[in-house]
A = this chain, B = another copy of it.
Amino acid sequence: MMITGKNLIGNQLSAQGDVKFTTFNPLLNKSNDTPFTEATLSEVNQAVNLAQKAFETYQNISGVKKSKFLNTIADEILALDDELIQTYCSETGLPEGRAKGERARTVGQLRAFAQLVEEGSWVDASIDTAQPDREPMAKPDLRKMNIPLGPVVVFGASNFPLAYSTAGGDTAAALAAGCPVIVKSHPMHAGTGELVASAIIKAAEKSEMPNGVFSNLNSSGITVGEQLVKHPGVKAVGFTGSIKGGRALFNLAANREEPIPVFAEMGSVNPVVILPKALEVRHQDLAKTYAGSITLGTGQFCTNPGLILGIKGATLTTFVDELAKETVKINPGCMLHPNIISAYRRKKDDALSQPGIQMIGDYADGVKYNFARQTIATVDGATFLKNSILHEEVFGPYSLVVQCENEKELKEVINHLEGQLTGTIIADNDETINYLAVVEALKNRVGRLIFNGVPTGVEVCPSMVHGGPYPASTDSRFTAVGIHSIKRWVRPFSYQDWPNDLLPKALQNENPLNLIREVNGTLGRQKI
């Protein structure tokens, strides 16, 4: 298909505005050709009104039909074939292998949600039958299940044009829940976004979904996003990106007349604690492994290990040198966009200009435009504790090794960290038992604890938590990855003494959907 540069308001292409922008190819260091038209306020309103209208029917569509819709989206994304891969690469500077891997992840997520809603037990049906003779008062019949919140606005991530964007985890979860979705397309990959959006619209038509179940709006600034979040018809927001952006949307949503939930997955430095014995035994291997993790995807992962914590000593000094050498050995990678690389340089320069911080290792000369120079720096624990600038994420292939005086200072450093997506403990199995207080401290700051691994790589499975205490996310009670992320977009709903034939199928006596339900406290597929 042809990328039009227009917005998709339900199944209609629309370009009412005058403001246009283009995407950028960082590898060629030049703008791509297609002009994208910014959505206007009128188009924002149309998209939300259509989503509200679509919600009236979409909220009650069967799991089987939603499943078909989600699987068809996956099919249509695959059918975009090479055009999608080439557009993706031209808008990100990322290699084809990465594009294909991310497409597989996106399709896999859609199919996982399809399976979830086809089976149907995710609605957490719970039934307490009546006891009319109970004393002193009759007990009514109560039946509960999850129902969708309403139209959801999704802000895609610059660093995951497929898996965390247009048809990414937020969108897949919201559509699975029964919520129409309006995507505020990421301006850095607006072409990729439009291709995927067109696949969703095609799938919606093929599966006979109501028009307005999905819309895609272009915008290179913040206005369209603000208009969407403030619109009374919008009932929840999903966001992946910077702390600044996520917090601004959270504040807008909290200040609405009707506040709405915002699940924002934001920055993280993903602290890695290397315990002394493991460092002693494996410092060379660790330097290699971590050089790879720090530079993976040119450091553009939210789980990038930006902070390594150890206890002072000759071995830690050796490790820092080895890590710097191994990191510098790796060929510099292209970053997503000139704005991303300039932010990387600015944040890194900010950090490196702080007193007491030391940059380690040498860099190859002549790193190309839009390519990032990998950087390892080090600082002692006391300096780190005093200077919150050093706690901030430097988005890119950068990591800071903090050399703590002793275990006490290590714990103090952890206790003073902001909330994180992940924390990692590198240990010889038998030494962990001596550092349980360190592990506990780390547990209180993160959403996921990794043992002897790297934080990069977020497995999509039910037991994954991708989220964590603020500012890793705006609400640590939910995960952004895996099927349980559907819980962000639903609310429990109770029927009291409702006639069986008027109940949703999930709650009827005969259990026609054969769901696992909690009936008078017992889980099972029983009928009543």
Contacts and interface: CB of A to CB of B under 8 A. Distances in A.
A419 B451 contact: no
B137 A470 contact: no
A418 to B, nearest CB: 8
A499 interface: yes
Contacts of A487: 477
A250 B127 CA distance: 32
Interface stretch (A153-161, A290-298, A454-462): A454-462
Interface stretch (A6-14, A18-26, A87-95, A138-146): A138-146
Nearest to A483: B521
A1 B16 CA distance: 74
A241 interface: no
A492 interface: yes
A438 B126 CA distance: 25
Interface string A417-438: 0010000000001001100000
A326 to B, nearest CB: 21
A451 B491 contact: no
A407 interface: no
A479 interface: yes
Interface stretch (A188-196, A365-373, A440-448): A440-448
A459 B140 contact: yes
A510 to B, nearest CB: 18
Nearest to A143: B463
B498 A449 contact: yes
21 contacts: A126-B462, A128-B459, A128-B463, A142-B459, A149-B476, A149-B477, A251-B255, A254-B255, A447-B492, A447-B494, A448-B496, A449-B495, A450-B497, A451-B495, A451-B498, A452-B497, A459-B496, A462-B521, A465-B493, A465-B494, A516-B523
A261 B262 CA distance: 12
Interface in A194-243: none
A144 B462 contact: yes
Nearest to A147: B443
Interface string A240-279: 0000000000110011001101000000000000000000
A258 B475 contact: no
